[in-house]
Amino acid sequence: MSKLKTPQRKSALGRGLNALLEDASFLAEERRISPTQEIAIEKIQVNPFQPRKDFDATTLQELCDSIKLHGIIQPLTVRQLTASTYQLIAGERRLKAAKMAGFSHIPAYIRTADDQQMLEIALVENIQRENLNPIEIALSYQRLLTECQIKQETLGARVGKNRVTVNNYLRLLKLPPEIQIALRDQKIGMGHARALINVEAVDAQLGIFQEIIEENLSVRNVELLVRNIARDKSPKVLPKEKGTNALKRTMHDASNQLTDRLGTRVKVHLQAEERGKIEIAFINAADLSRILKMLLVGP
């Protein structure tokens, strides 16, 4: 009689998770990432490379309440500095919330990483969580380019975003500081900022920005203002019989300067000999009021 085989016991983890654990086992063997350990919170130093500076008090309290109820579901990632000290790589919100909840220890993965690796890990981890404001995201992308030496053509793949999205964020850093601060503080939206980027002159950008704040302009209205400015950027050829070449150049330059200064479309028309008129466009009463203030008392 043949010997009966004992049925093999199936793992409760399931085959997919087992495969993942097997694939990740080499990391622990190479001492790149250790298994989760409970670490005293007082031994963990904050990550100096953390791109996030602002933590919303309400959401932080909500996370604290969740941790009190369910514990830490996602461990932190740290690197070991000495036998008794660690430095945070990723998970500062969880660390802050755990402190608020009164925890003395917290689960963490211990990873071997140099300063550049720490910066890249922290930046990418925060960007992928999508909880940074637009300026923090833009600064994070810029730091990945400059400090981590990641090429711009491959940056999108590293952070899980398409190239156009990454470029749109990077362009925000070209805006004047006042506009960047307003975007960071959610006084204007990403749509407003993206429209303002297309205005070349800083004075015009700031003029439209001030109107957005004072008149609560929609993104559509801002885009219309920007289109009006762009419409007059190409040189207009005056009829040959009207004025000299020098006067035509002066009129063209005057149109561009006034357009940039006032943040709206301005045309200078020649009527007879050297006489003419200036035509200033506005989109609504609020826009007219803004222009009058700039003309009468300055910006």
Nearest Cα to Cα of residue 218 among 284, 264, 167: 284
Residue 178's contacts (CB-CB under 8 Å, 6 or more residues apart) are: 206, 209
92 is catalytic: yes
Neighbouring C-alpha atoms within 13 Å toward the C-beta of 238: 19
The Cα 55–Cα 52 span in angstroms is 8
In degrees and rounded to multiples of 5, residue 141 shows phi and psi of -60, -45
The Cα 256–Cα 248 span in angstroms is 12
Nearest Cα to Cα of residue 198 among 243, 168, 178: 168
Which of 29, 62, 92, 273 does the annotation list as catalytic?
92
Question: What torsion do the CA atoms of 191, 193, 197, 198 make, to the nearest 10 degrees?
Answer: 40
The Cα 161–Cα 150 span in angstroms is 14
Catalytic residue positions, numbered: 92
